[in-house]
Structure 1
Amino acid sequence: MDLKNSEQDATELISMEEKTPGCYVKARYILALMGFFSMFNAYALRTNLSVAIVAMVNTTGEGQTQNQTNVCPDRSQNSSSEPASNGYFNWNPAQQGLLLGCYYYGYLCNNVLGAWMSRRFGFRLVMGVSMMLSGLITVCMPVVAYTSFELLVTLRAIVGFLQGVCSPSIVGAWGVWSPPMERSTLTSVSISGSSVGTFVTLPVAGLIAETMGWEAIFYITGIVQAQSISYDRFLDTKVQTPWKSILTSLPVLGIFCCHFAGNWGSYTLLTMLPTYVATILRFDIATTGILSALPYLLQWIFTLLGGYFTDVVRGKGLASTIVVRKVNTTLALTIPAIFLVLAGYVGCNAAAAIVTLSLSVAFTALMTPGGTANTLDVAPKYAGIIYGISNTTASIPGFLAPQVVGWLLVDDSSLSQWQTVFWISAAIYIAGNIVFVLLASGQEQPWAIGNVVERKPKQGKS
């Protein structure tokens, strides 16, 4: 069937949905809910180690630097002569950076493959298997941690590989199922599960570590992850992928660059924020988890509001698609850059540090109705594949950023070194935004208007 554009494609699918007899929740809304919980679970496993490592590492061990100049007063609730965090493992900052970042070694390897598998075998099966296996592996991590550091790194990389299917599968599904004027909203609802997953996991993991031990963090998040959800009323759509056109498209290159830049800052904070709060601001682990989670509550709110108001502006014709995409992306990269730099210069003022870091994280949410949703504008039929390629390159900061932080902090874990970390992230934010603004397009690209080779409605439980 020859579909001339994405609007015709989406209209046909929605019309099919509306004509189905009976009283039910629309399939695209269930898909949004599935995407939300998939991202929630994925980020629970992605962030659990960020808190657990604070309790796992022996900060007074032989491998730890003692040259921590300009460090703030101890704010631990149980301040005493004992260090607030005195775990079992003598991992130096470089090893910690490797462990926090190794998830992304596996993650970047499975984005394009994950998008293809989701199109070939269906969203439900691919996501369900990924969730179950990564949960089971996570449950084994405490035993492995006591056995071998190298094996622990390997298992975290495998979990990352399994989780690599999530985002491309969700974005690809919206390329088929989302009406053009609901793209920002539906994508934002799905992706916002990552913010909620982080917001819930960080404080809960801190409380678990303090009351039950860090091992319980992996047991609980792993068991929850292994409980997958299913819904099989979606379509399998196969199209011939124009690989050369995708890889040589300037608008697509702009998406790649802003995605990479946004992820550098986001992953720096996602993996290292609990360490900053615990070692520089010097809160105990439970408080560290709560404070580290606050930015992601704001991020969730900004994601939902940003997606909704973006579609309102587009629907009322107040601004063109490309204008709102560029404005959202600029806000998502420049404002976080400013607040991130400011966070490094507020010193030991904990309130100011949390406020600036929270605002930095919150505004990155506008990347979803910005550069991420732009994938659906330029090539809706190939959105999953394009996002898979983009997320592959944008996952490099996931392992590189924590290791850069670890290298910078090996000799001197101080405010001045963290300022360098924040400046690097801010510079990458700005560079990525400039490239996107110059190259982005709001129109479906000529090479993206292709033929649907096969479409099979899946009939199942409603």
Structure 2
Amino acid sequence: MGVAVTDVQSKLGFRHFHAFLLFSINVVTFMFRNSISSALVAMTDGTKEDSFDWSIKTQSVILSSFMWIYVITQFPGGEMAVRFQPKPLTIITTVVCTLMSIATPIAAKIGGWTMVLVCRMIQGAVQGWLLPCVHVFISKWVPLEERSRLGVFMYSGAQLGISIQYLISGYIIHNWGWEAIFYINGVIGAVLAGLFCIFGASSPQTSKWISEGERLYIQTSLNEIARHKKLKTPWKKIWTSMGFISLIVVNCAQNWGVWTLMTLIPSYLNQVQGVDIKANGVISAIPYLGMFIMSFVFGYGADLMIKRKWFSITMTRKICNSIGFFVPGLALIVLSYAPADPNLAVLLLTAVVTPNAGHFSGYLLAHIDMAPNFAGPMSGVTNGCANVLSIFAPLAAGLLLQDEADPRDWRKVFYLSSCIYIACNIFYIIYGDSTRQSWNEPETDDTDAEAEESRNKVH
């Protein structure tokens, strides 16, 4: 058996193809999410005959509408992924987002901005389930020895999706018009939904494509050869765990930083540095491409540290997360003092975004380390709380920015984000825990004990 397991472990298997499908779904769902940012510029271009006369305020409402229900569906998303299995929820997410993408150009022409708003809200609602589903997939499909690199691979689809959308949108709009962005994304989404219907599975036990040897390897690694049953989430024990509380804190810091970068950095570069980042897809994509590439460095590095026993799993997660938070925190401060040089500004922006890939191998995987049986519900809560808090990042910046062209006001914004990054990661360093929690395992009640005793008597 040892030779067989070693043979399976050393080769590419169906688990890798399954991970690739989930990676691809993450790519296209983030293309869906980011598509409106690129398309709105062309949709509201007054020099074109088919443009829409939407004010900046209306455009801002459209851009924010995705998050309105997305924030809410994060919370039940984890429980749904466990109770109803992640495969059907992932398919529903991809199909609904595909339909809404294809419908967006038609909705804009028939119902104006309000119908576009509805399409975006529906996409946000179903995408709220996706991250908890990915956590559940990782907990069921990925052997412990490969958790960092395969887990990070699936997560990193988000950054590649953002980069691809930035890179191709200008070309698509120039050649086929803004409507083509939504139609092309819809075609990609439809293909992936079909592939996942055929090849996807909630767990290796329910897959008809995986070999018996590979299934045994995954089960043995995860210690899941024993019986399987749906478990009741021990919310009281979860909420009284400081390890879990630390995940909420550090996830909130991550989202604060991300939304500061996504919503405010373009304005800073334009007002202070003279860089129109929204008009240059390549410049917009560089930081996220860097983050995508760096995620693999962290993934393989984390697995190597764990495999060679250089550090414990908990320490490995904290090292990766610290690089992902401390470096961007310091780089934000440096960026705020940078002279007016567009090239230097883009370089520093890349230095802020790229190292943040460490959080993929950091706190995100800690959900699964702590309690693989409840990784979905846990991630739904932590990401839900983080997305609620992220709403306040632009509001806080608005209070600090009296003059958008004044670098001194921007320093206040960057210092605040930097302090949040650093302080919250210190909290995670102190309280974070990636050891398997006792409440992850189901408690054997009297009914189970009696049933087990009866089976033993029969046999």
TM range (shorter): 0.7 to 0.9
CA drift of 1:347 comes to 4.0
1:53 matches 2:46 = no
Selected match of 1:118 from 69, 76, 81: 81
Confirm or deny: 8 A CA contact 2:101 2:182 kept in the other structure.
yes
C-alpha distance 25-327 of structure 1, shift in aligned 2 (>3 A): closer
Cα distance, 1:54–1:430 mapped onto 2, change above 3 Å:
farther
Change (3 A) 1:97 1:329: farther
Alignment of 1:155-304 (within 5 A): 155-227=119-191, 228=193, 229-230=195-196, 231-233=199-201, 234=203, 235=205, 238-273=230-265, 281=273, 288-304=280-296
User: Which of 9, 16, 35 is the equivalent residue of 1:29?
Assistant: 16
Cross-structure match for 1:338: 330
Farther-moved stretch of structure 1 (341-350 vs 190-199): 341-350
TM-score in terms of structure 2 length: 0.79
Native 8 Å contact 1:262 1:432 kept in 2 = no
Preserved CA contact (<8 Å) 1:105 1:160: yes
Cα drift, residue 145 of structure 1: 4.2
Q: Does the CA contact (< 8 Å) of 2:25 and 2:189 recur in 1?
A: no
Q: Deviations over 1:259-292 (max 9, x none)?
A: 1111221233235555555666555678521101
Paired residue for 1:78?
Answer: none
Q: CA 1:401–1:25 in structure 2 vs 1: closer, same or farther (change >3 Å)?
A: same
Whichever residue aligns with residue 136 of structure 1, its letter is L
Match of 1:6 in 2: none
In structure 1, distance between residues paired with 2:25 and 2:86: 11
Amino acid of the structure 2 residue aligned with 1:51: S
Residues 274, 289 of structure 1: 8 Å contact kept: no
Q: Could you tell me whether the CA contact under 8 Å between 1:265 and 1:429 is conserved in 2?
A: yes
CA shift, 1:360, in A, is 1.0
Aligned residues: 409
Counterparts of 1:69-148 in structure 2, within 5 Å, are 88-92=52-56, 95-145=58-108, 147-148=111-112
Fraction of identical pairs, as percent: 28
Task: Point out the more displaced range, 425-434 or 146-155.
Answer: 146-155
CA-CA distance at 1:50 after TM superposition: 2.7
1:418-429 to structure 2, matched below 5 A, reads 418-429=410-421
- 1:32-68, Cα deviation, whole Å (9 max, x unpaired): 112211111111112222333344456xx9xxxxxxx
CA distance in 2 between counterparts of 1:342 and 1:326 reads 24
CA gap of 1:286–1:380, structure 2 versus 1, over 3 A, is closer
User: Do the aligned partners of residues 369 and 344 (structure 1) sit closer, same or farther apart at CA in structure 2, a change above 3 Å counting?
Assistant: same
**Superposed CA RMSD:** 3.2
Q: Give the conservation status (yes or no) of the 8 Å contact 2:253–2:421.
A: yes
Asked if the contact 2:338–2:344 (Cα under 8 Å) also holds between the matched residues in 1, the reply is: yes
1:322-337 alignment, distance < 5 Å: 322-337=314-329
Give the letter aligned to residue 159 of structure 1: Q
1:294 match: secondary structure: helix
SS in 2 for 1:441: coil
| Greater Cα offset, 265-274 or 369-378 | 265-274
Q: Specify the alignment match of 1:448 in structure 2.
A: 440
Q: Which has the higher helix share?
A: 2
Letter in 1 for 2:405: S
Structure 1 residues 279 and 35, CA, compared in 2 at 3 Å: closer, same or farther? farther
Map 1:427-442 to 2 at 5 A. 427-442=419-434
Deviation at 1:206, TM superposition (A): 2.9
How far residue 331 of structure 1 moved from its aligned partner, in angstroms, is 1.2
Which stretch of structure 1 is more off in the superposition, 174-183 or 300-309?
Answer: 174-183
The Cα shift of 1:295 comes to: 0.6
Give the letter for the 1:389 counterpart: V
Aligned to 2:454: none
Of the structure 1 ranges 396-405 and 312-321, higher mean CA displacement relative to structure 2 is found in 396-405
Q: Is the 8 A contact 2:274 2:342 kept in 1?
A: no
**2-structure distance, mates of 1:89, 1:353:** 33
In structure 2, list runs of 5 or more residues that go unmatched: 207-227, 449-459
Q: Deviations over 1:294-331 (max 9, x none)?
A: 01111111111101111111111111122111111111
* 1:118 alignment partner AA: A
Question: Residues 406-440 of structure 1: CA distance to partner in whole angstroms, max 9, x if unpaired?
Answer: 6777x754353544443332232123212211211
Q: Which moved more, 1:136-145 or 1:267-276?
A: 267-276
Q: TM-score, normalised by structure 1?
A: 0.79
Per the alignment, residue 77 of structure 1 pairs with none
Q: Residue 225 of structure 2 corresponds to which residue in structure 1?
A: none
1:339 shift after superposition? 1.4
Distance (Å, rounded) in 2 between the aligned partners of 1:100 and 1:47: 9
In 1, distance between residues paired with 2:146 and 2:421? Answer: 27
The answer to whether residue 349 in structure 2 is matched with residue 362 in structure 1 is no
| Amino acid of the structure 2 residue aligned with 1:414 | A
Aligned residues of 2:266 and 2:276 also touching (Cα < 8 A): no
